[in-house]
């Protein structure tokens, strides 16, 4: 099946030094989505306990601090001309309310639940240390983290040494380091890395005899919700001008992606490393609680003032159900 040529988009994880540009490709036709296929990480049996210790020991304070934007140039065929014209056209159709928002990338100082449930994700990608963001959500197994699909799998390979550090702050891990025993993604991301379905999940091992949600709490999660609502996006951007040390947020009314994906967008200055961070509906600044309804996913390289995330529909819901039952 031929893939259509699309302008480049920047995936927002962190690693290395070059600018990552990921082509947005046409989704293959399929009768019905397959069940998400999990990738095993550190498991909970005896051998898994040793693996957990190895992975936790791998992520030293200095190694976490040095994990930088996962940026790799995807040299796929693309239309390299017309980017400025597309950008100007988009600026004309984007609503003014979406360009003047309460926050387009400020440090979160409000505390509350999100300061515990949101955290940094660390992993090894093709031999290099990388970082993303994630969020603990309410779940049957009380051990589920929602993130972006490219934060668990990219370029056809599942990441290794995967851990979640809730409440991360400048190298400190106040709530511990949680190793993954399974990572999963939507079937569309697993099969073709379709940016419209860039949703991933991890099921983490207990830590000191406690499940993740019992230790830090969990945010609500919802699917198939109305679009164009006020949303808050959180993450740990690590590419300049940010350094990954603090939780950052954007807020405002969401728009529909007017160009290529089926996702939603916010005016937001967050950079690489924020990928996988949660977007909330009904977010209460006083309590730091909301209902998760997307994740930070990508930016168009010619429209860097906007962040886009996947719409949480049936496929994201199937992924969540698969993860929470693992």
pLDDT of residue 297: 93
**Between 240 and 1, residue with greater pLDDT:** 240
Pairing of strands 289-295, 220-221: parallel
Pick from 6, 323, 302: which is nearest to 140 by CA?
323
pLDDT of residue 68: 66
pLDDT above 50 for 236: yes
pLDDT above 80 for 14: no
Question: Which of 66-75, 109-118, 209-218 comes out lowest in average pLDDT?
Answer: 66-75
Residue 1 domain-assigned (yes or no): no
- Say whether the peptide bond before residue 295 is cis (omega within 30 degrees of 0): no
Residue 49 domain-assigned (yes or no): yes
9 three-class SS: strand
Residue 306 domain-assigned (yes or no): yes
Residue 90 domain-assigned (yes or no): no
**Between 92 and 46, residue with greater pLDDT:** 92
* CB 212 within 8 Å of CB 142: yes
pLDDT above 90 for 261: no
For residue 185, the tally of other CB atoms under 10 A from its CB is 28
Portion of the chain with pLDDT greater than 70, in percent: 75
Pairing of strands 118-125, 255-256: unpaired
Q: What is the CATH number of the domain that holds 157?
A: 2.40.10.10
283 three-class SS: strand
User: pLDDT tens across 92-115, in order?
Assistant: 555 554 444 478 999 999 999 999
pLDDT of residue 256: 93
Residue 293 domain-assigned (yes or no): yes
Pick from 108, 117, 325: which is nearest to 217 by CA?
117
Segment of 36-40, 79-83, 280-284 carrying the highest mean pLDDT:
280-284
114 three-class SS: helix
What's the pTM value of the predicted model, to 2 decimals? 0.84
- The pLDDT mean for the chain works out to 81
Q: Scanning the structure block, which residue is given the tokens 């990954």?
A: 244
> For the chain, how many structural domains are there in total?
1
Residue 167 domain-assigned (yes or no): yes
Q: What is the mean pLDDT of residues 160-177?
A: 95
Q: Can you tell me the distance from the alpha carbon of 11 to that of 298, in angstroms, rounded to the nearest whole number?
A: 5
Domain range holding 41?
Answer: 8-25+37-74+97-324
Residue 92 domain-assigned (yes or no): no
Q: In degrees, to the nearest 5, what angle opens at C-alpha 231 toward C-alphas 251 and 85?
A: 70
Q: What is the mean pLDDT of residues 158-177?
A: 95
pLDDT of residue 300: 86
């Amino acid at each position: 099946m031929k893939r259509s040529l699309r302008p480049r988009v920047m995936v927002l994880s962190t690693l290395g030094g070059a600018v990552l540009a990921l082509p947005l490709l046409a989704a293959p036709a399929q009768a019905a989505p397959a069940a998400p296929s999990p990738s095993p990480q550190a498991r909970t049996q005896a051998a898994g306990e040793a693996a957990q210790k190895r992975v936790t020991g791998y992520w030293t304070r200095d190694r976490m601090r040095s994990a930088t934007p996962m940026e790799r140039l995807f040299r796929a065929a693309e239309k390299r001309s017309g980017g400025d014209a597309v950008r100007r056209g988009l600026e004309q159709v984007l609503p003014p309310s979406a360009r003047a928002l309460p926050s387009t990338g400020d440090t979160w100082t409000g505390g509350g639940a999100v300061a515990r449930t949101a955290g940094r994700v660390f992993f090894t990608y093709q031999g290099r240390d990388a970082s993303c963001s994630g969020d603990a959500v309410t779940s049957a197994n009380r051990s589920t983290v929602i993130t972006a699909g490219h934060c668990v799998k990219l370029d056809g390979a599942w990441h290794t040494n995967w851990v979640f550090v809730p409440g991360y702050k400048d190298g400190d891990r106040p709530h511990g380091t949680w190793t993954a025993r399974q990572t999963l993604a939507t079937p569309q991301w697993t099969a073709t890395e379709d940016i419209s379905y860039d949703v991933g999940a991890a099921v983490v091992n207990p830590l000191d005899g406690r499940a993740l949600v019992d230790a830090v709490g969990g945010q609500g999660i919802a699917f198939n919700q109305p679009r164009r609502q006020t949303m808050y996006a959180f993450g740990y951007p690590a590419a300049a001008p940010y350094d990954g040390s603090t939780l950052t947020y954007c807020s405002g009314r969401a728009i529909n992606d007017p160009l290529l994906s089926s996702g939603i967008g916010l005016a937001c200055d967050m950079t690489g490393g924020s990928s996988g961070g949660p977007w909330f509906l009904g977010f209460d600044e006083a309590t730091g609680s909301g209902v998760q309804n997307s994740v930070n996913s990508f930016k168009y390289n010619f429209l860097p003032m906007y962040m886009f995330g996947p719409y949480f529909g049936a496929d994201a819901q199937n992924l969540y159900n698969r993860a929470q039952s693992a």
